Structure 1
Amino acid sequence: MAENPPAAGVLERCDIRPSANTTSELTLSLLHFDITWLYFHPVHRLLFFDFPCSKTEFLETVVPKLKESLHETLNHFLPLAGNIIHPLNSGRPFSRFEDGDSVTLTIAECDKDFDYLTGNHPRVADEFYACVPQLPPAKHTPDVVILPVLALQITLFPDRGVCLGITNHHGIGDASSIVRFIKAWASVNRSSGDSKLIDDKLLPFYDRTSVEDPEGLDSIYWNLIKQSRAVESPPISFPLNKIRGTFILRKDDVQKLKHFVLERRPEMHITAFIVTCALVWVCLVKVDGATETLADDEPEYFCFAADCRGRLSPPLPAAYFGNCLGFVKAESTHGLLKGNDGFLFAAQSVGEAIHKTVNNEKGILDGAENWPRQFGKLIGKRLFGVAGSPRFDLYDVDYGWGRPIKFESASIDADTSMSLCKSRDFEGGLEIGLSRPKEILDAFAAIFTEALRNL
């Protein structure tokens, strides 16, 4: 890293292995769904729990139980204890777990203000990295690069709470896969280490032969991706000079937004996701329009991923482990989005993009051979996106410490995405996370609040 992030005091760093009586080796091919994310920045998730405990209780009770439950859970999620093997000369990348592989778990203590970090108000983005685990460094050989895929950290805020940090390499799995691991681990920890109590719905499905590839997408993607950039993601450079804020849409807000669109576009199929993305997109465009000189015909893009598991032919089980995402691209122009009807144009663009890709009569992978080039062309363009989904509710995770008081997607510091998840406190509501320079976030907050007030 260019500069060290705000640090927590490391109390212990240990390697947790699956049980010795598990499979000694598990190798999974990385398919085009995985290859897409091979050079993406690591994904950081933070779960804060309002769980006051002393340092003694933390070290003597909480940590040993967490280690044991992780040990048991990894028996079912062996790829997360393994590595991605990236060939340098010939062959395609794959995931490999071997006997002796492990996951690094960091035990830390932090004296930062727990209430400050878990609020919705603007907070300095750098402050969160005391709780963010870093993936171990890659190992280089003449023929391959060996990339660890998971790092974990449990941080104590004495007598106030704990934070569980999860960092994963995106090439090993998407949110569906990683959230299943988080929930499985939570259930084992809550049940005092009994992995037999894991809900069958959370157990991963590994069969790669279930994924058909008649168009040869695996080879197409690998031949394109391997030429694109370095194997390892660049380090985070501190200070980030960004402020992190959380914005809430209550159920009533969502209903008003949907009603606003349907009154004017009754033919549209409108969802909470569409109106939320449209509102954030337009507000960000208007902020930039007020601070930069942008032509009305300047293209504006909003991109996000859609789960393909149930949309393939044949469909995959919901528990399929790995990445299984299609790319959706909405586009408009700066002039349309900054105008009085900008929200309507944004909603229409997002809705049409979903219909064109997700509901494509030829299948969600129609045109997928062109996705890498299409999205490569967007580098340097005016692009916004979404990280996460309300489908993956991390606020119902319980390690025995109660539900999280706050979820943060630290990954959004690295790009222009917003995070999106269910609201913890408002049934039917949504929680939006943004990380931007202070002046941008302040301007966004004003426009966002005014937009909701005028509904």
Structure 2
Amino acid sequence: MTTLLESCQIAPPPGTVADRSLPLTFFDIIWLHFHPIRRLLFYKFPCSKPYFLESLIPKLKESLSLTLKHYFPLAGHLLYPLDAQKKPIIRYVAGDSVPLTIFESTNDFDNLVGDHPRDADAFYDYIPQLPPIITDIESNHKLLKVLALQVTLFPGQGICIGLANHHAVGDANSIVGFIRFWASINKLGGNEEYSNLPFFDRSLIKDPIGIDSIYWNQMKEIPLKLPSFPLPTKRVRSTYVLNESEIKKLKDLVLAKFPGFVHASSFVVTAAYVWSCLTKSQTPGGQETIKYNDDEMEFFLFAVDCRARLDPPLPGNYFGNCVSYGLGKIRHQELTGTDGFFMAAQAIAEEIKNRANDKEKLLEGAENWVTEIWSLKQKRVFAVSGSARVDLYSADFGWGKVRKMETLSIDGEDYAMSLCKSRDYEGGLEIGLTLPKLKMDAFAVVFAHGMELCHNT
């Protein structure tokens, strides 16, 4: 059982942030109608309810307020114009704040932070909903909060921090930067000079052909709404970890198959292995009864951070969205065949080489991204949330490393995984999946069998 203890609003310290608005670039506008991003951070930190309420919560509120002084857009609103001749913006005005809820749970903390299959619905007790959209007739806009937070105590066991954010305010790099900054202030205090503060200057993103207007014209007639939690999910949630040695074995197999293979990165081999295992486990011979056309195309969709790839490059602390995408393509028969893993690795690596790592092609055809993504809706697409560079396990609020991170956003996708650095293995990667139980059981068998063959090679 989970019980509400407090609801409050946290704002930057009074007088520390001037009223300010930020335009949305085409990197932001493309996410206007995307579902909220939902993350959970579990900390093993046994404490009593009085200590939690009297010591930890006041400190969390204070450190969050100090953090919002620098990350002010997260306290503001997305302003969605009712007049389609105008464009949406992110706006902060004095008094804006972030909703924070405090809960207590008597549920089994240790079960939640395991890697084994767990009921995916059980995690929604710990994630906040973004507040309802408000129609402001005076300003002729719809107002949408872009961030909501929840802190849940498991007495004598641990703490969970839940975040829900609208994707238009920032990508994973931006939100992870916010979380790590908040954690640092909570642990170390807020009386020092900080480096690597968020950078908000949109003028460095060049848009000579007006891609932002092209996107807005394609989206402005779509009603703005917040999707509810995808409950019941009818899924289980499991975690799979590949350590550095296992990833090296996968790389060695690829290089042995394709001498001179370029881009045999940890991301490429991990994504290819999961993609091929998942597809094989859900075709005849596994638990899946649906038959697929051998010539049907399978797609692998992944985000590409453009900050360092733009000309001129953006600083790594740029706050907002700055991602394009890659789309690996392969025929179903090739992906489920004996060499499925190798073919998947080749398809992903080729996309990185020819699109993601080619500065001249990085934004080529960007004006068509919205229609390209929409065209995939009826296709077999395996998407990845996060990246091999995402490191939230080191976000220490003073309670030690994160015990477990979960990305609930993938519950809203038919076919997706989360990816991040491993908590326990330097150089390792952690994969999160949510699937119906029979499909997860089938995947687990194929995944384990493949790794056993890998170890024996």
TM-score (normalizing by structure 1):
0.96
Deviations 1:201-243 (A, max 9, x none): 2x1001111111122211111112224x321132124211010
Question: In structure 2, what is the Cα distance between the partners aligned to 1:231 and 1:263?
Answer: 50
2:318 is paired with a residue whose SS is coil
Deviations 1:73-107 (A, max 9, x none): 10001000000001122211100000010001111
Following superposition of structure 1 onto structure 2, how do residues 145-156 of structure 1 map, counting pairs within 5 Å?
145-156=142-153
1:405 to 400, 403, 412: 403
Question: In structure 1, what is the Cα distance between the partners aligned to 2:223 and 2:381?
Answer: 23
The answer to whether residue 49 in structure 2 is matched with residue 55 in structure 1 is yes
The answer to whether residue 203 in structure 2 is matched with residue 176 in structure 1 is no
Question: In structure 2, what is the Cα distance between the partners aligned to 1:249 and 1:48?
Answer: 21
Aligned residue number for residue 87 of structure 2 = 92
Question: In structure 1, what is the Cα distance between the partners aligned to 2:65 and 2:245?
Answer: 43
Amino acid at match of 2:178: F
Following superposition of structure 1 onto structure 2, how do residues 144-223 of structure 1 map, counting pairs within 5 Å?
144-192=141-189, 194=190, 196-198=192-194, 200-201=195-196, 203-223=197-217
Question: In structure 2, what is the Cα distance between the partners aligned to 1:360 and 1:342?
Answer: 26
2:6 to 8, 12, 22: 12
Whether the 8 Å contact between 2:266 and 2:388 is mirrored in structure 1 is no
Aligned residue number for residue 442 of structure 1 = 441
Whether the 8 Å contact between 2:79 and 2:141 is mirrored in structure 1 is yes
Whether the 8 Å contact between 1:111 and 1:157 is mirrored in structure 2 is yes
Whether the 8 Å contact between 1:274 and 1:351 is mirrored in structure 2 is yes
Question: In structure 2, what is the Cα distance between the partners aligned to 1:195 and 1:383?
Answer: 47
Amino acid at match of 2:341: F
Aligned residue number for residue 378 of structure 1 = 376
Q: Kindly state the Cα deviation for residue 14 of structure 1 after the two structures are TM-superposed.
A: 0.3
Whether the 8 Å contact between 2:90 and 2:169 is mirrored in structure 1 is yes
Q: Mean Cα displacement is larger for which, 19-28 or 268-277?
A: 19-28
Whether the 8 Å contact between 2:310 and 2:359 is mirrored in structure 1 is no
Relative distance call for 1:266 and 1:215 in structure 2 (3 A) is: farther
Aligned pairs, number = 445
1:280 is paired with a residue whose SS is helix
Q: Kindly state the Cα deviation for residue 360 of structure 1 after the two structures are TM-superposed.
A: 2.1
Amino acid at match of 2:125: A
Q: Where does structure 1 lack aligned partners over 5 or more consecutive residues?
A: 1-6
1:213 is paired with a residue whose SS is coil
Question: In structure 1, what is the Cα distance between the partners aligned to 2:227 and 2:378?
Answer: 17
Question: In structure 1, what is the Cα distance between the partners aligned to 2:49 and 2:334?
Answer: 56
1:241 to 229, 234, 237: 234
Q: Where does structure 2 lack aligned partners over 5 or more consecutive residues?
A: none
Q: Kindly state the Cα deviation for residue 8 of structure 1 after the two structures are TM-superposed.
A: 2.1
Question: In structure 1, what is the Cα distance between the partners aligned to 2:113 and 2:361?
Answer: 41
Amino acid at match of 1:159: G
Q: Mean Cα displacement is larger for which, 95-104 or 82-91?
A: 82-91
Whether the 8 Å contact between 2:75 and 2:98 is mirrored in structure 1 is yes
Following superposition of structure 1 onto structure 2, how do residues 420-439 of structure 1 map, counting pairs within 5 Å?
420-439=419-438
Deviations 1:403-432 (A, max 9, x none): 111011111111122000111111111100
Amino acid at match of 1:246: T
1:215 is paired with a residue whose SS is coil
Q: What's the RMSD between the two structures over aligned residues? A: 1.2
2:283 is paired with a residue whose SS is helix
* Identical-pair percentage: 49
2:255 to 236, 251, 262: 262
Question: In structure 1, what is the Cα distance between the partners aligned to 2:191 and 2:202?
Answer: 25
2:238 is paired with a residue whose SS is strand
Deviations 1:351-388 (A, max 9, x none): 01111211225141112111111111000211111101
The answer to whether residue 119 in structure 2 is matched with residue 119 in structure 1 is no
Amino acid at match of 2:366: A
Q: Kindly state the Cα deviation for residue 44 of structure 1 after the two structures are TM-superposed.
A: 0.7
Q: Kindly state the Cα deviation for residue 266 of structure 1 after the two structures are TM-superposed.
A: 1.5
Whether the 8 Å contact between 1:87 and 1:93 is mirrored in structure 2 is yes
Aligned residue number for residue 44 of structure 1 = 38
1:294 is paired with a residue whose SS is coil
Q: Kindly state the Cα deviation for residue 170 of structure 1 after the two structures are TM-superposed.
A: 0.4
Aligned residue number for residue 389 of structure 1 = 387
Whether the 8 Å contact between 1:360 and 1:366 is mirrored in structure 2 is no
Question: In structure 1, what is the Cα distance between the partners aligned to 2:423 and 2:230?
Answer: 31
Deviations 1:110-161 (A, max 9, x none): 1110000000000000101111011111101353211100001110000110
1:53 is paired with a residue whose SS is coil
1:276 to 270, 274, 286: 270
Question: In structure 1, what is the Cα distance between the partners aligned to 2:212 and 2:268?
Answer: 31
Aligned residue number for residue 107 of structure 1 = 102
TM-score (normalizing by structure 2):
0.95
2:298 is paired with a residue whose SS is strand
2:363 is paired with a residue whose SS is coil
Deviations 1:317-342 (A, max 9, x none): 11111000011111111111010011
Question: In structure 2, what is the Cα distance between the partners aligned to 1:237 and 1:405?
Answer: 25
